[in-house]
Amino acid sequence: MSMATPITIALAGNPNAGKTTLFNTLTGARQHVGNYPGVTVEKKAGAYTFPSGDEATIIDLPGTYSLTAYSVEEVVARDYLVQEKPDVVINITDASNLERNLYLSTQFLEFGVPMIIALNMIDVAQDRGISLDAQKLSALLKVPVVPIIARSGKGTTELMAAALELARQNAPWDPLYISYGEDVDLALQTMAQRISATGFMTDSYAPRWLALKYLEGDSQIREKGSKADPVVDGELQEIVAKVSEHLLKTMETYPEAIIADHRYGYIKSVLRQEVITHKFDIDRLHASDRIDKVLTNRFMGPLIMLGVLLGLYKFTFTYSQLPVSWFAAFFGWLSANLNTLLPDGHLKSMLISGVIDGMGGVLGFVPLIMFMFFGIAILEDSGYLARVAFMMDRVFRIFGLHGSSVMAYIVSGGIAGGCAVPGVMAARTLRSPRERLATLLTVSFMNCGAKLPVLALLTATFFSRSQAQLMFLLTLLAWVVALTAAKILRLTVLRGESTPFVMELPPYRFPTFRGLVIHTWERTWQYIKKAGTTILAISILIWAMMTFPGLPQSEEENFSRQRQEITASAAQNADAQQLKEQLAAIDTAQAGSTLRHSLAGRIGTAMETVSWLPGFDWRTNIALVGGFAAKEVIVTTLGTAYSLGQTDPEDNATLSETLAKDPRWNPVVALALIVFVMFYAPCFVTVVCISRESGSWKWGLFSICFNTAFAFLLATLVYQGGRLMGFAG
């Protein structure tokens, strides 16, 4: 029998159980899979066609540990199940860690949703000497259980056949009833009866499940309940208060703890019935644990982490040097050819100064970005990044942040090259609103991929001998500043208690070469695409702002008069070389004056009233304003500004060479600019995301003002301090 409409299958399970991998295997999609928990914060949909021709919509739900609304993922997953009522839920479990994974499974069973358990990573479990009896587990839980290996696709055909079979049965939801002991059971019974009698939210939830959520203190359910019927809600709250008081008095515990204990008790009782057997001694350390003994060691771990970080930068800057120089040479050649081919005028100026010298500056760093992403992909796919998060968790607590914030920081560019936008989204995993907000407001301090070309340009120009070491120090600086800012926020506007956190460590996996190439290419392609679209458009607009309205007529005439006078006096002296030099000086003065008179020039010059403190001239000011649109624009704007000021058509110096020759630039100015770029206002898209995620534009605006003020202070300290110490040349 073929089904007329596509069936809906939801993939649910603990974080890092392999949901996204299975989703990709089934749908042929290439959703990003990270070897760390919390990759999926939103649900995604894909299509699947059965061999019989039936079709299914596969929904990848965010990873959750429970169905109680503690975090956004749990709310997303639960709301989906309640509102959309999928035909089948495939509960993906990590077979090597079954006991903990079945905690969520029992909640699905209590919820009553038609479910299949997929025992994923069965190969990893076998390597660890764990043997599982899927049939026995299926018989005990009364749901189909299918062993699979999501990465290779093994067992997925059987899994989907079982899902189709279950969907065809179209059986009514059948909740499992677990006994929670006399006191809780009695309260549950009373509450369920009251819920049934009054029809209290029964169109969405089963009465006993609803009562259970009340006892677990589920804030979302209680909020909905108080809106639906305040009277019944009040009665239920009263029962909860009574049983809580009784449990506290008699057992010194809370209902939610009793419920969790009984759920684990239920799981243990199932597993003990020869469902799971350990071939080896259970205490024997498997490979991942042995590696972790060294890599996450309290003393050696952080040292190894710093070594890995430094190694990554050394690798990136050493091996990308040659291809970066090829790119620079190519853009120089292109610029020189266009210069000879095109007639003088605005179009030529736009193509050379706006497009090639502007956007080319960003594209020139493609090899560097590629090498950096390749290194990061190795760390990520192997599972080492999760260890970095684990080690940083200890530090984060000191600064009033939650362990879950670590991943948001790393995603934002904790090891350089990330993006603050997914970092902001990753903060959704935080349960405490204050910790979440502190994370949202500080993730943008990390060195995202857009800041990389700016940092690479300035470090290559002024600190070429120790580029990797400086990048390493700048990474540490980003962490120190972000954590300090978080601490300041947690002590002032976001004061509050810290919440506990348990970090799980996924097993180490050998990254596949294909996986590394896909990850590297996907990220590099995004960089190229952004440079060719958004950055190109902004670059052209900034060129226009730097070109128009141009010099007033009187000024133009003034320069023409000067040229005539010099030419006339040179005719008498007959010194051709001197004439050439004098005319070139007038050309340079006119180009500079035109730039100053342009719209951008006027804005930049007006900003010099304060920007002299951190040592920025009007060109840098314009670049920084443009950087609010996207940080790469800083490089394109500097490229355009120096290209427009350039009057010698033979001079094809790169931006780096031009900056090195400019007397206004020196290592102190460069360092002040690096610091400012690292910490000033996040880009526009990040600000929008912060506002959206925090639910208020107030916080988006706060991030602009707070970060810019913070960055200005630091950059001023660097510049003025460097000047006082005599480093400014």
Partner 1 sequence: MWQNIIILFIIVACMFFIGRRIRSQLGGSKTSCGCSCSGCDDKSAKTENCETKPPPPLH
Contact residues for partner 1, defined by CB under 8 A:
27-32, 42-47, 59, 72, 75-76, 79, 345-347, 350, 369, 373, 411, 417-419, 421-422, 425, 428, 433, 436-437, 448-450, 522-524, 526-527, 529-530, 533-534, 537-538, 540-541, 544, 629, 683-686, 688-689, 692-696, 698-699
Q: At closest approach, how far in Å is the CB of 643 from partner 1? A: 16
Pick 431 or 509: Cβ nearer partner 1? 431
DSSP at 351: I
Cβ proximity of 498 and 438 under 8 Å: no
Pick 233 or 435: Cβ nearer partner 1? 435
89 backbone dihedrals φ, ψ, rounded to 5°: -110, 125
Q: At closest approach, how far in Å is the CB of 341 from partner 1? A: 14
Paired residues of 91 in beta bridges: 12, 117
Paired residues of 132 in beta bridges: 276
Q: At closest approach, how far in Å is the CB of 43 from partner 1? A: 5
Pick 234 or 695: Cβ nearer partner 1? 695
Task: Render the burial of 664-688: b for 16+ CB within 10 Å, e for the rest.
Answer: ebbebbbbbbbbbbbbbbbbebbbe
Question: 287, exposed or middle or buried, with CB in 10 Å at 0-12, 13-18, 19+?
Answer: exposed
Cβ proximity of 93 and 101 under 8 Å: yes
The 3-state secondary structure of 195-239 reads HHHHCCCCCCCCHHHHHHHHHCCCHHHHHHHHHHCHHHHHHHHHH
Pick 29 or 701: Cβ nearer partner 1? 29
Alpha helices for 598-683 (secondary structure H)? 599-611, 618-626, 633-644, 655-661, 667-679
Q: At closest approach, how far in Å is the CB of 493 from partner 1? A: 11
Q: At closest approach, how far in Å is the CB of 362 from partner 1? A: 12
**Cα–Cα distance, 166 to 174 (Å, whole number):** 13
Pick 346 or 561: Cβ nearer partner 1? 346
**Cα–Cα distance, 695 to 690 (Å, whole number):** 8
Pick 342 or 473: Cβ nearer partner 1? 342
Determine the distance from the C-alpha atom of residue 247 to the mean position of all C-alpha atoms in its chain, rounded to a whole number.
43
Helix (H) or strand (E) holding 527: helix 513-530
Pick 111 or 373: Cβ nearer partner 1? 373
Q: How many CB atoms lie within 10 A of CB 294?
A: 10
Pick 199 or 433: Cβ nearer partner 1? 433
- Indicate left, alpha or beta for 169 from its phi (over 0: left) and psi (-120 to 50: alpha): alpha
- Extract the tokens encoding 162: 């079982």
Pick 371 or 665: Cβ nearer partner 1? 371
**Cα–Cα distance, 247 to 215 (Å, whole number):** 12
Q: At closest approach, how far in Å is the CB of 300 from partner 1? A: 30
If you search the block for the tokens 């362990």, which residue do you land on?
A: 403
Q: At closest approach, how far in Å is the CB of 473 from partner 1? A: 23
Q: At closest approach, how far in Å is the CB of 602 from partner 1? A: 18
Q: At closest approach, how far in Å is the CB of 533 from partner 1? A: 7
If you search the block for the tokens 């960055």, which residue do you land on?
A: 711
Q: At closest approach, how far in Å is the CB of 677 from partner 1? A: 16
Pick 304 or 688: Cβ nearer partner 1? 688
Q: Which residues contact 635 (CB under 8 A, 6 or more apart)?
A: 361, 362, 453, 454, 457, 623, 655
70 backbone dihedrals φ, ψ, rounded to 5°: -95, -35
Three-state DSSP class for 89? strand
Helix (H) or strand (E) holding 118: strand 115-120
Pick 400 or 614: Cβ nearer partner 1? 400
Q: At closest approach, how far in Å is the CB of 100 from partner 1? A: 26
Q: At closest approach, how far in Å is the CB of 72 from partner 1? A: 5
Determine the distance from the C-alpha atom of residue 365 to the mean position of all C-alpha atoms in its chain, rounded to a whole number.
21
Pick 30 or 279: Cβ nearer partner 1? 30
Q: At closest approach, how far in Å is the CB of 590 from partner 1? A: 20
Q: At closest approach, how far in Å is the CB of 31 from partner 1? A: 6
Q: At closest approach, how far in Å is the CB of 538 from partner 1? A: 7
Cβ proximity of 631 and 412 under 8 Å: no
Pick 101 or 686: Cβ nearer partner 1? 686
Pick 143 or 312: Cβ nearer partner 1? 312
Report how far apart, in Å, the C-alpha atoms of 302 and of each of 37, 263, 296, 415 are: 21, 37, 7, 14
Cβ proximity of 90 and 10 under 8 Å: yes
The reply to whether omega before 549 is within 30° of 0 (cis) is: yes
**Cα–Cα distance, 625 to 610 (Å, whole number):** 14
Pick 534 or 588: Cβ nearer partner 1? 534
